Amino acid sequence: MTIRAYLYDADGTDQAVDLSDGILATLSDRQLLWIDVVGNDQAEIERVGSTVHLHRESIKNLLNPIGRPRLDQFGEYFQVNVVAIEPAPKGDKPSFVQIPLDFFSGPNYVVTTHAQDLKFLHDFDDRVREDSGLGALDSASFLAALLDWHITSYFRVLEEFEEAVDTLDEEVLLHPNDREFLEDLVNLRQRVGQLRRLLAPHREVFANLARPDFHLLVGSDAGPQFRSLDDRFERAMDAVENARELVIGSFDLYMAGTARKTNEAVQILTIVTVSLGIIGAVAGVMGTNFTVGFFKAGATGFVLMLVGMLLLIGVVLLFARRRRWI
C-alpha cells in the first residue's frame, strides 16, 4: 500500500510532506493538501481516516466498496464515489478494467483512494510542477480538476474504441469474405455496452455536484467548474452512444458485403443453370424420334450440335456481361 501526501502552497513551494495527525491544523487558506492512497490495507486506511477525521461510515465504504457511484455529505467534508477505468492487458476482453475511486473533499484537503494505480492521476501529478499556484484553490475546485481528468480518461478509451472500429471497417472493405469480422463486431458491441453501463450511474453524481444547493452546503465557489463537469460528462455519454452507432454501422457494412457476395453467387449459379438448361434443351431436341435428314448427318451433325450449344452459351454469357451480372 502506498500513501503519498503533497502540499500545494500558493505563497511558497509545492512539496511532498509526511502525513502526521496534526497536519490539518497547520494548513492555511492558501494551502491545499492532497493525500493519494493506493491499496486497501485496513490499518493504513484507518490511519488516513484518523488524520483527516473521516466519518466511520466513510471508512466502512472504503473497506467494503458500495460498487455504485454516489455523493454523500459528512459534516465538513463530502465524499464522491466513482469508477475509474484503466486499459486491460493486450488480448484481454473487454479492453479496460474497472477500479473504484473515492474522493474526500474537506477544508483545505482532498483525499483520493483507489485499490490500483490510476494513469490519469499520475498524468495530473506529472503535469503539475512546483510553484503551481494550486494552493490558492479551495478543495472543491481542486476536486473538480481531478474529476475533469477522470472524465478525460473515458474519452481516451472511446478514442481507442473508435480507432478499433475504423480499422475493422477498413478490413471489412478490403477483405469482405472474412467471416471472423462477425466475432470482432460482437466483441466491440460488448465493450461499448459495458462502457455505457459503467458511465450511466455517474449521471446522478455529476448532476448533484452541479446543483446550486450543493455549493451552499459545502460553502464553495466551484459551481461553474462542477456545471462544466456535468456538461462534459453528458458529452461523454453522447460519445458512447455515437460509438454504439459506429458498431451498428460496421455491422451494416459487413452485412452489405455479405449480401453482395450472396448476390454474386446467385448470379453465377443462375448463369450456370441457364447454360446447363441450354445443353439439356438441345440434347432433348436432338434426341427426338422424328425422322429428319439432319439427324442422319453423323459425326458432322454431332459437331455442329456441340458448336450450337457453345454459341448459345456464349450468347448467354455475353448478355450477362453486358448487364454486369458477371
- CATH number of residue 104's parent domain: 3.30.460.20
The mean pLDDT value of the chain amounts to 81
Greater confidence (304 vs 115) lies with 115
Within a domain: 201: no
Within a domain: 14: yes
- pLDDT single digits (tens) 284-306: 666 665 555 656 666 777 677 77
Of 135, 164, 199, the residue at which a domain comes to its end is: 135
Predicted local confidence at residue 311, as pLDDT: 82
Full-model pTM: 0.74
Range of the domain at 309: 264-322
Number of domains in the chain: 2
Within a domain: 293: yes
Assess contact for 15 and 141: CB atoms under 8 A.
Answer: no
Of 91, 110, 135, the residue at which a domain comes to its end is: 135
- pLDDT single digits (tens) 11-46: 878 888 888 878 888 888 889 999 999 988 888 899
- pLDDT single digits (tens) 219-254: 677 788 889 999 999 999 998 888 878 777 777 666
For residues 184-199, give the mean pLDDT.
Answer: 82
Of 135, 163, 178, the residue at which a domain comes to its end is: 135
Within a domain: 207: no
**Nine-digit cell string for 136:** 490558492
**Nine-digit cell string for 1:** 500500500
Within a domain: 253: no
For residues 85-110, give the mean pLDDT.
Answer: 81
Edge to edge, the sheet with strand 2-9 lists 15-17, 2-9, 31-38, 109-114, 96-106, 77-87, 70-74
Which residue is listed with cell 483507489?
Answer: 114
Within a domain: 170: no
Within a domain: 154: no
Assess contact for 11 and 135: CB atoms under 8 A.
Answer: yes
Within a domain: 55: yes
Q: State how far the Cα of 56 lies from the Cα of 178, in Å rounded to an integer.
A: 58
